[in-house]
Structure 1
């Protein structure tokens, strides 16, 4: 027969065991694998479609081997950074999101985009970036240095964001991103993005596909490897989709290949932000011209056939794939050089004597402007090379992976199905 004292000890022990079991169960629940998908988008500025065929990048190549690396990702026009990174985020062409170049001019506002102030001015940014879609549907997001991420959209922002710091060391960027994935599951981002500029910066100085560019790619690749290793250490890789995206390719511009477009038109009758704006005259692949109809018509007529490597189009008459005829920012006249050539104004002083050896901003129909894309994760079939596709599909791809109801975009559900081998279908 058990004494009352011994009964109390037994009951206490049983209660203790039950408490331990309850604590263990809670601890296991807290650390149990969760199958909700995560997307990490890594922006590598200036990574061309063929870069990984030319240079060693073992970590990115390993991701491609266990995921997909399409033949190319076709940027939106013009093939410059602001325009394309914002199209990646919104799934829209510039005619709809308004970022028609790196420093657009708005005829209705009668002002131009100026960094860094305009980066946080909501008047310049239209559409709905993927991080806003995610936040509005209850998924936390964390964004580092993505164009448009500093803006509030009707009161909504990413859970974490930070103003752009060009000189922030890459190691600090990687450490901070990995720290986002520490802590409770509820605080980890389901969508995260960060940006590296190095490949583009070096290509501007050294030219396209040079050994210097290869070294820059290797540097960025090392940080990609750290991100992968960090996610693996946290037990998150099985549900993480890594997307490596870029904004454009790069062409080399020989020093002698300059077209002085003002030899053929009167600059005093029009406004050309690229040579008369804040940065001043320089060497550019294209210029946007604004003016009264008579002045625009005169300039247009004078430019026809003026140079074999220069073309010009009036507003409303541009090629269908340009898609940057924004109602208040699209130019009245667009002048574009061929890859390998550059535009400048002979009659205006140079804002800076420095010029890029590597240049982008040319017609996206030319393969030299096509961007690189790699994706790996549960939604992507292993080691496949889908056909080239347009970058406006990235928003819809991410929304599909995360199970989000997308905003209206230019994305094509058939492209999403092709990229994921039918694993992700947009209804």
Structure 2
């Protein structure tokens, strides 16, 4: 392995040399981009917790030095997986395919995708034919991506995984979550960014699963969430200190954002679906027992019965639609993965299947409501040479899908078709010149693919060896074998010449003696 890494370092230099040189006079767009995601970080948490006396000095410093978009509309449903996929594709849920945290696909009968199931996260059937994420687009156009635990980064897209990554093998063990230490997430990203000659990273994605997890248990305004925010603030401080020590503070563009916001529900706002719809009429293929939306697979002839039952209940905060009749604002009905019958509630109501358990908590955090509900909106901060500075706040409405085309411009790569808008988000930039970029140098794609798999197998010991890794390793083996054979041939030829010369001297000596 050590020998392979040494060879990898040499190959990295070869691949980088395949592209054009990066000169000091290069146009804007050549700086690395780091996107940091804090799951469930509400757009106004800084103000809400400041008013409660909670100090978050590193977030406050970041905001005061950069730019803040105060009104960021995410995609529907305001859930974890759909929004993470939208951030890195610039597409609405109906287009990128990952419409819910748990869903089925009529073209994959008998299978169920769940963001909580490691086998789903490594099954390429779920990503085959669907739009590729930013880290793949970056690598296909000559860049190199470093990803720490970003949702869905375990899934290969057309054979591509991130160039280097910490994947969810590090955090999932037989379905039970084991948190990968936050400090190690930060140190791993700093390690990759701090060795450009070895890794050449121009895009980083760093994911934190909080404050979402804690807010679900304690509500979005709680002492427990305050403690998590303080912990995240410390990690942001570690990240910024590390970037400063690497001399990258003013040579990297950074975006801090989230997938969704959060609000607090209570046990008095639970909807017992079993009291409205006969459970024998459908198969519930969502893994969660409680949700503010529910996808149902009706039994034959029961779809209209379900919709009529919900209508007859006359609950103004609960609706049911066929997939083909969902409102256009959702951007949710254009996918084959959209559930045939879809139920959704207004805040603060939550749908419960299987009866309301007596031990249900009195208060809890929820999200997933309509994306025009500002409680669902995420944090959006940025700093770096490309962005406005001095604590500028942008009040115009932008959308979370706008990050993708902006990231592509800053990286100097061509964006795939998307729903984002550079016009909406350009106000965060320090200059419109940052939108005038050239394609980044293109390295050797085969070498980059081999190196990606090599580093992946090195840092993630449970990752199966990929064809590119095996082929690359085989090529290195053949190369090493040729070197050894050539060396032995040279040694044999040298010895043969020496023996021949010695024989000539011996014969000459015999003649002289005669």
Fold equivalence (TM over 0.5): yes
Alignment CA distance shift 1:301-1:426 (3 Å): farther
Match for 2:205 among 193, 198, 203? 193
Deviation at 1:222, TM superposition (A): 1.0
Kept in 1, the 8 Å contact 2:325–2:333? The answer is: no
- The equivalent of 1:102 in structure 2 is 101
- The equivalent of 1:266 in structure 2 is 278
Structure 1 segments unaligned to the other structure (5+ residues): 1-29
- The equivalent of 1:19 in structure 2 is none
Deviation at 1:311, TM superposition (A): 2.0
Match for 1:129 among 107, 125, 133? 133
Structure with the larger helix share: 2
Deviation at 1:346, TM superposition (A): 4.4
Match for 2:420 among 411, 415, 419? 411
Alignment CA distance shift 1:226-1:33 (3 Å): farther
- The equivalent of 1:144 in structure 2 is 148
- Superposed CA deviations along residues 318-356 of structure 1, whole A, max 9, x for unmatched, are 222211225321012211122222111246x96x96797
User: What are the within-5 Å matches in structure 2 for residues 233-382 of structure 1?
Assistant: 233-274=245-286, 277=287, 282-291=289-298, 294-304=301-311, 306-346=314-354, 357-382=364-389
SS of corresponding position for 1:54: helix
Deviation at 1:72, TM superposition (A): 2.6
- The equivalent of 1:46 in structure 2 is 40
- The equivalent of 1:204 in structure 2 is 216
Q: Are residues 1:181 and 2:185 paired?
A: no
- Superposed CA deviations along residues 52-107 of structure 1, whole A, max 9, x for unmatched, are 11223221222222221111322211111111111111111111111111111223
- The equivalent of 1:6 in structure 2 is none
Alignment CA distance shift 1:290-1:355 (3 Å): farther
Kept in 2, the 8 Å contact 1:135–1:157? The answer is: no
Kept in 1, the 8 Å contact 2:326–2:332? The answer is: no
Normalised TM-score (structure 1): 0.85
Distance 1:395 1:308 in 2: 36
Distance 2:99 2:273 in 1: 21
SS of corresponding position for 1:239: coil
Distance 1:336 1:355 in 2: 21
Alignment CA distance shift 1:388-1:77 (3 Å): same
Deviation at 1:424, TM superposition (A): 3.3
Match for 1:424 among 427, 430, 434? 434
Distance 1:88 1:184 in 2: 25
Kept in 2, the 8 Å contact 1:380–1:423? The answer is: no
- Superposed CA deviations along residues 372-404 of structure 1, whole A, max 9, x for unmatched, are 111111111122222231111111111111111
SS of corresponding position for 2:268: coil
* RMSD between aligned residues: 2.5
Aligned positions, number: 392
Distance 2:125 2:74 in 1: 24
Alignment CA distance shift 1:355-1:146 (3 Å): farther
Deviation at 1:181, TM superposition (A): 2.0
SS of corresponding position for 1:374: strand
Deviation at 1:297, TM superposition (A): 1.4
Q: Are residues 1:397 and 2:401 paired?
A: no
Distance 1:172 1:287 in 2: 36
Distance 1:215 1:401 in 2: 34
Deviation at 1:46, TM superposition (A): 0.7
Q: Are residues 1:214 and 2:226 paired?
A: yes
Distance 2:194 2:429 in 1: 29
Distance 1:310 1:379 in 2: 44
Structure 2 segments unaligned to the other structure (5+ residues): 1-20, 50-54, 172-177, 438-514
Larger Rg: 2
Alignment CA distance shift 1:34-1:145 (3 Å): farther
Kept in 2, the 8 Å contact 1:82–1:102? The answer is: yes
Deviation at 1:200, TM superposition (A): 0.7
Kept in 1, the 8 Å contact 2:276–2:310? The answer is: yes
Deviation at 1:293, TM superposition (A): 7.2
